[in-house]
Amino acid sequence: MDTDIQQFATRFNDSLSAAPGAHFWLLRPLLTLLAAGEPVTVDQLAAAAGRPAEEVRQTLATMSDTEYDSDGRIIGYGITFNPTPHRYETGDRTFYTWCALDTLALPAFLGKTAHVTSPCHGTGEPVRLTVAPDEVTSVEPATAVVSLVTPDAPTSIRSSFCDQSHFFAGPDAARDWLAEHPGARILPVADAYEVGQSVVEQIVTADTPSGCC
């Protein structure tokens, strides 16, 4: 990772960590359970996290972006069963993600290659990628870029970060969007992948709290 991307990744992670509900210690087991393809109960999540169910329930209450089904089971956080523009196929399962960066980070976290299809946010042209756990192996079109932001006062992970992270077919396709989002940045897919890896590292190294949230 070159110095510029490394510095941007640091800013991104600092901003992400400041978002309300950014409890990475709980996100680690939650993503793993969701990737199994079934809704997740609080008791299942508590067992996987090694924490009391009430503590997990209280922590989830602060994670306002969490998606639930009609039975109160979790069906989405970053990776989701609900359709979004970002289609994420891995193994024999089809999921969706909240944003472009999720599609680049999840294969490393989950250890499985994914095939991604997402429309260019500017033109609607399909952007297709194959993302392995350790690299992006194909990008079509090759000029594709990813938008990222580093807000000073994030309100939630999904609204402040994911809702601003899109694929564009190329820099020209992102020009109008960038004009409307002067604090944003676009990166080639390979560089955005590196930022995603820094997020993965932050999740997998997160400490479990010693007391309740």
- Tens of pLDDT, residues 3-54: 999 999 999 999 999 999 999 999 999 999 999 999 999 999 999 999 999 9
Tell me the per-residue pLDDT of 142-192, one tens digit each, with 9 for 90 and over.
999 999 999 999 999 999 999 999 999 999 999 999 999 988 999 999 999
Domain around 162: 3-19+78-204
Residue 102 annotated among the catalytic residues of the structure: yes
List the catalytic residue out of 2, 43, 92, 102. Answer: 102
Q: Is residue 144 part of a domain?
A: yes
Instruction: Please give the tally of structural domains in the chain.
Output: 1
In a domain, 50, yes or no: no
Q: What angle, 0 to 180 degrees and rounded to 10, lies between the N-to-C axes of helices 189-204 and 3-17? A: 50
Question: Does the annotation count 99 as an active-site position?
Answer: yes
The answer to whether residue 15 sits within a structural domain is yes
120 in active site = no
Which entry of 43, 69, 99, 207 is annotated as an active-site residue?
Answer: 99
Is 209 part of a structural domain of the chain?
A: no
Q: Quick check: is 210 in a domain?
A: no
Give the contacts of 122 (CB within 8 A, at least 6 positions apart): 168, 169, 173, 174, 175, 176, 177
Residue 26 lies in a domain: no
Give domain status of residue 129, yes or no.
yes
CATH of the domain at 137: 3.30.450.410
Q: Which is catalytic among the residues 65, 162, 172, 191?
A: 162
